[in-house]
Amino acid sequence: MDEEKPTFKDLLTKHKIVLGVVAAQAGVEIRVAYKLEQGEVLHGVYADRLLAALTHLAGQTYTYENVGGIYLHQEYHDGPYLP
């Protein structure tokens, strides 16, 4: 098994980024960001936005490759859909 990847929540703590700030940067509701923080299933488009926002705010690149605990709905689509 690969080395354990930090979770979204771990990275928020590491970079001292507040969940509301990353949600605002991503243009998503805080409840959607909370789902990712808690390791709940969410749509890929939201995960993409949140990872891009985290990358921007932290100044380091974060993707599915180096962030663990991301669980996506099986269908990835652009919406409209409920979070």
Q: What is the CATH number of the domain that holds 52?
A: 1.10.260
Q: Which amino acid is present at 47?
A: A
65 located within any domain: yes
Whether 2 is in a domain gets the answer no
Quote the CA–CA distance of 67 and 58 in Å, as a whole number. Answer: 13
Number of domains forming the structure of the chain:
1
For residue 1, being part of any structural domain is answered with no
The span from the CA of 32 to the CA of 21, in Å, is: 13
Distance of alpha carbon 18 from the chain centroid = 13
Residue 50 lies in a domain: yes
Calculate the CA 46 to chain-centre distance: 7
In a domain, 82, yes or no: no
pLDDT digits (tens, 9 = 90+) for 16-57: 999 999 999 999 999 999 999 999 999 999 999 999 999 999
Banded pLDDT at 1 (limits 50, 70, 90):
very low
Confidence at 82, pLDDT banded by 50, 70, 90: low
DSSP letters, 20-50, are HHHHHHHTS-HHHHHHHHTT-EE-HHHHHHH
On whether residue 20 sits in a domain, the answer given is yes
For the stretch 8-22, pLDDT in tens is 999 999 999 999 999
Domain limits for position 63: 8-72
